[in-house]
Structure 1
């Protein structure tokens, strides 16, 4: 298992983009989008698909503007999202674990039964979303959460991305 480098050893660009607070905020917004449609928390394994999509500018640019698009249709119409995805997901797994830990510790996320992440209300997110970049990415995370919620079977989502939970 790959571990995350200490802060002193991370290049500034990597430290900024993969900041655990930033990533935990994205996971919170993802869980809000997911929960809005299915009234339950986000399955923990989906965090390992979401961050590699949200932190990859080429993939996030292809997200539909709303969740009215069907998840399967979006994947079929945008196969470039899948290029290199398994490697990206594997490389970002330590970042995802660090973000979830941060989110749990600082109450951006809760952990429910059956390995689900529950978004918790956090006043800091309102300030965070005042930044236009964060606000746009927050909206994208919520849309992705809604897209994930359309598919009721977790293994199906993973199979579409060519990875295993």
Structure 2
């Protein structure tokens, strides 16, 4: 896939827009916001596989706007109403996989997250994500809110059953095979 090779280029060789939206710090912040939202509602670690859904769902404008407004929305009913959106998610997950990995590695190196056999949890030096940056755009603010919503939404889904079964059901409904 040429898209994946593109993401291995040095940062100085990538377009400025890409550096703004796909850099490890910003993408890491989105994953940290998802983890934060998840942790508020669930005592378990965020399943590792779900971290790869954050960027494809939060960064894509059409998908972001189709997501539910409330975290307690049942995933199955939302998926049934949004099959057209879900058809594009697997390809975006594959294309953004290198970006997600880079963001996870960045967070791990900072000590902001810990990855183990149970999933992803807050590290010894969590990111401060409550402060609103002095300079931002409406779109970036919407992306940040969406990342937090995703964490709460994933946590609500895991409350309805075993975490691994629920994670598998979410991934399968989105057309993603593990």
* Fold match (TM-score > 0.5): yes
Contact map agreement 1:86 1:162 (CA 8 A) in 2: yes
- Which residue number in structure 2 is paired with residue 141 of structure 1? 147
- Per-residue deviation, 1:80: 2.5
Mark the CA change 1:124 to 1:50 in structure 2 (over 3 Å): closer, same or farther. Answer: closer
Select the residue among 98, 103, 122 that pairs with 2:102.
98
Select the residue among 31, 52, 55 that pairs with 1:51.
55
Structure 2: how far apart are the matches of 1:102 and 1:25?
10
Mark the CA change 1:110 to 1:130 in structure 2 (over 3 Å): closer, same or farther. Answer: farther
Are 2:170 and 1:157 aligned? yes
Structure 1: how far apart are the matches of 2:21 and 2:137?
16
- Per-residue deviation, 1:46: 0.8
Contact map agreement 2:25 2:106 (CA 8 A) in 1: yes
Q: Alpha-carbon deviations, 1:44-73, whole Å to 9, x = none?
A: 111112211111111011112221211111
- Which residue number in structure 2 is paired with residue 117 of structure 1? 120
- Per-residue deviation, 1:107: 3.0
- Per-residue deviation, 1:10: 0.9
Using structure 2 for the length normalisation, give the TM-score: 0.81
Contact map agreement 1:54 1:140 (CA 8 A) in 2: yes
1:73-84 pair list within 5 angstroms: 73-84=77-88
Structure whose alpha-carbon radius of gyration is higher = 2
Unaligned stretches of 5+ residues in structure 1: none
Structure 2: how far apart are the matches of 1:142 and 1:114?
23
Aligned residue pairs total: 164
- Which residue number in structure 2 is paired with residue 71 of structure 1? 75
Unaligned stretches of 5+ residues in structure 2: none
Structure 1: how far apart are the matches of 2:49 and 2:9?
22
Structure 2: how far apart are the matches of 1:110 and 1:145?
16
Using structure 1 for the length normalisation, give the TM-score: 0.87
Mark the CA change 1:132 to 1:125 in structure 2 (over 3 Å): closer, same or farther. Answer: farther
